Structure 1
Amino acid sequence: MPVRVAESSAPSQVSGTNSGHTSSPAYTLLSVGQAFSGTQNVSSLQKEEAWRVNVRIQGCDLEHGYLCGTMEALNVPMADTPIVVTFWEGEIVDTKNYTFYTGKWEASPEDDKRHWTKFPSFTPLLSQVENDGGKSLDLSNYPYIFMRWKEQYFVNVGTDCGLTIAGFYYVCFSCSDGSINGFYYDPNSRYLYFFLVFYIFVN
Structure 2
Amino acid sequence: MPVRVVGSSTLRKFQAFAGTQNVSSLQKDEAWKVNVRIQGCDLENGYLCGTMEALNVPLADTPELCKLCSVVLSLFLHIFRPEDDIRHWSKFASFAPLLSQVEADGGESLDLSNHPYIFMRWKEQYFVNVGIDCGLTIAGFYHVCFSCSDGSINGFYCDPNSSPFQKLELKCSKEKHLGFTFSSYQLHNLVSPNDHYI
Whether TM exceeds 0.5 here: the answer is yes
* Rounded Cα–Cα distance in structure 2 between residues aligned with 1:141 and 1:22: 13
Which residue in the other structure is 2:72 paired with? Answer: 92
Once residues 75 and 101 of structure 2 are traced to their aligned partners in structure 1, the CA distance between those partners, rounded to angstroms, is: 12
Aligned CA distance change for structure 1 residues 98 and 151 (closer, same or farther; 3 Å):
farther
Distance in 2 (CA, whole Å) between partners of 1:144 and 1:94 is: 8
Distance between the aligned counterparts of 1:146 and 1:22, measured in 2? 15
Residue in structure 1 matching 2:12, options 17, 26, 31: 31
Amino acid at match of 1:199: E
How far did residue 22 of structure 1 move?
Answer: 5.7
Q: Could you tell me how far apart the structure 1 residues matched to 2:129 and 2:148 are?
A: 32
Greater length-normalized contact order (CA 8 Å, ≥ 6 residues apart): 1
Letter in 2 for 1:181: N
Does 2:21 match 1:40?
Answer: yes
Q: Measure the CA separation in 2 of the matches of 1:86 and 1:168.
A: 12
Number of aligned residues: 169
Unaligned runs of 5+ in 2: 174-198
Distance 1:146 1:120, change over 3 A: same
- How many percent of aligned residue pairs carry the same amino acid? 68
Q: Secondary structure at the match of 2:23?
A: strand
Cα 1:60–1:197 change in 2 (3 A) is: same
**CA RMSD in angstroms, aligned pairs only:** 1.8
Post-superposition offset of 1:64: 1.3
TM-score after normalising by structure 2: 0.80
Task: Measure, in 2, the Cα distance between the counterparts of 1:68 and 1:32.
Answer: 9
Runs of 4+ in 1 over 2 A off after TM superposition: 79-82, 94-99
Question: Which residue identity lines up with residue 169 of structure 1 in the other structure?
Answer: Y
Residues 68 and 88 in structure 1, CA contact (< 8 A), matched pair in contact too: yes
Q: Is 1:70 matched with 2:51?
A: yes
Question: 1:100 is matched by which residue type in structure 2?
Answer: F
C-alpha deviations, 1:96-116, integer Å up to 9, x for none? 375321xxxxxxx44300000
1:166 alignment partner, one of 121, 139, 143:
139
1:156 aligns with 2:129: yes
User: d(CA) in 2 for partners of 1:93 and 1:76?
Assistant: 30
* Equivalent residue for 1:119, pick from 84, 89, 92: 92
